[in-house]
Structure 1
Amino acid sequence: MGWFGRKSELYDWQRGPQHWRYTTDDRPQVYLQQTYAPVAGMKRGSISESNEPNKNTLDVTVPVDLAFLDLFRGRTPTERLLLTVYERKRDNSVVRRWIGEIGNVTWSDSKVVLRHFPPSASQTTNGLKECWQKNCPHMVYSAGMGLCNAAQETMRVNATVSSVSGSVVQSSAWATKPDGWFDGGWVQWGEGTAIERRFVTQHTGDTLTLMTPALLPVGTVLATLPGCDGTIDTCINKFGNWLNYGGFPWWPTKNPMGNEAIY
């Protein structure tokens, strides 16, 4: 592309080590030894900046048959999908125009609109993250000083799927645990180099009800992690992890000074 060439844009969607690369040009483009495939009809909305990050969204419209959209057909990926937009100028130089992640997907008969949010939209302010409370505030299996540190390898149950119907999945391996054992936990499996997860809302016998459907073929092996309700009894009896318990189960419920102010 020379001085009299057209500008083109390069779109790089990324999930972990996986990439899907496309261009608005009518021929393939190569940048940093990576090829971007042409997509007819792909376009984006305007790029804006304001003091309200949630308004700085970027809509990208793509054909409904784009291979990248297979990630969203009948399900929602659990890992973040990042987008980097580059612009190739007429002098062949390339600059990065925008970066963010997919927030939602809107389908129609012939096209799909991918709405992206900038990194600032997911940032939170600094502040106290823990309170004085009876139940444990730690995320189960979180690792590090002052966190849960329950061992996933010890608690994991590998289960071979015998039946799938929407959000309901069955495996005989789950029947070896009492009802409710996996409530609040999740199942996970590999898809290429990515890891997909679905959270468990109910466990009864050999059946799990998932929060969202999973397109799983029979025979898939799922790593199943039990959940935690944050109580000291569960921490002791289920996980044997009471030394890392982050709550204060013996916190008094009655004010020892009475209901009257002292002054």
Structure 2
Amino acid sequence: MSQTPLQEIELYAFASNSAQFHLTPHEFDVDLGGTVYVSTPIERNELALGAEAAKSALELKLPQTCDLVRHLLANALTGDTTAITLRIARRDPWGDTWWIAGTRWMGRVLGVEVADDGARVRCESAQVSLKRIGLRRLYSRTCSHVLYSAACGASPISASAIVSGSTGRSVDLDGGVPGSVSGGLAGGWLQTPEGARHMIVSETGSGVELLYPATIEPGTEVLLTAGCDHSTATCASRFGNLDNYGGFPAIPSKNPFSTGVF
């Protein structure tokens, strides 16, 4: 018994200042006017029906090894914003071609989290962003600037090292972590000669632990860049950049509306 051909598909377009990605969750690539949407395992949450669908938050689940995930992790370090558009395409009844039938959702990527079972991408609707009142910058005790961004203004602290071996998320370095960045790599990154950046979550006795698994050949020279915990102490002692600190550490700990003024 023959199956009815699929008549409607979803297409995801991601765009930042440095790259574009076109993906589809279906089992085949889709070519639309020369733009190829690559077949990628994508799961998403249910969106509301009708006009409320455009306001809903979008959550995606993708493989850890997806190039988009690596790009979003790198963007989290540089502060680059990634826009996302979810479109619907329908099959041409007179041929085996597809055409854009409409846009179902538009917004921006808020963040990405990598776990053992995949990467989860959180996205915010464009309607929600545009209707938000006031400034978008967070009012928080710790600094909200992206490290080494224009707003941060700190100068990168980096050192080269030679990889002696890598297993999963662990990367061993010949001679261990260089002294100039030792003790400050958490929240920073490891950069390969190809330009790929891997976020560092901690230092080990012989090297570093990355946020997600990476295979790096022994003998590869990598660049280690220090991170920041966004505290005033680190800003002052490690970077000498307290004048540009973007947090508000003196916010009162007691809320007078809940505890009373006296």
Alpha-carbon distance, 1:55 to partner: 6.5
Structure having the higher Rg: 1
Structure 1: gaps (5+ residues): 61-67, 254-260
Provide Cα deviations, 1:137-175, integer angstroms capped at 9, x if missing partner: 53422323xxx21123xx122333221122221224723
Q: What is the DSSP-based 3-state SS (H/G/I as helix, E as strand, rest coil) of the residue aligned with 1:174? A: coil
Q: Does 1:140 align with 2:147?
A: yes
Structure 2: gaps (5+ residues): 73-81, 253-260
Q: Is the 8 A contact 1:156 1:223 kept in 2?
A: yes
C-alpha separation in 1, matches of 2:35 and 2:251: 62
Q: Is the 8 A contact 1:8 1:25 kept in 2?
A: no
Matched AA of 1:71: T
**What is the aligned length?**
228
Equivalences for residues 112-261 of structure 1 within 5 A: 119-120=124-125, 125-126=132-133, 129=137, 131=139, 133=141, 136-144=143-151, 148-152=152-156, 155-171=157-173, 172=175, 174-177=177-180, 179-189=182-192, 195-200=196-201, 202-204=202-204, 206-247=206-247
Which of residues 65, 71, 81 is equivalent to 1:71?
Answer: 65
Work out the percentage of aligned pairs sharing the same amino acid.
22
Q: Is the 8 A contact 2:161 2:178 kept in 1?
A: no
Q: CA RMSD in A?
A: 5.4
C-alpha separation in 2, matches of 1:252 and 1:18: 40
Matched AA of 2:65: L
Q: Is the 8 A contact 1:175 1:206 kept in 2?
A: no
Q: State TM-score, norm by structure 1.
A: 0.56
Which of residues 104, 124, 132 is equivalent to 1:98?
Answer: 104
Provide Cα deviations, 1:78-134, integer angstroms capped at 9, x if missing partner: 5179564331343765323434679799999xxx9x98866429956445745585x
Aligned to 2:9: 9
C-alpha separation in 2, matches of 1:86 and 1:181: 46
Q: What is the DSSP-based 3-state SS (H/G/I as helix, E as strand, rest coil) of the residue aligned with 2:178? A: helix
Matched AA of 1:32: G
Matched AA of 2:100: V
Q: Is the 8 A contact 1:157 1:173 kept in 2?
A: no
Q: Is the 8 A contact 1:9 1:25 kept in 2?
A: no
Q: State TM-score, norm by structure 2.
A: 0.56
C-alpha separation in 2, matches of 1:116 and 1:21: 14
Aligned to 2:256: none
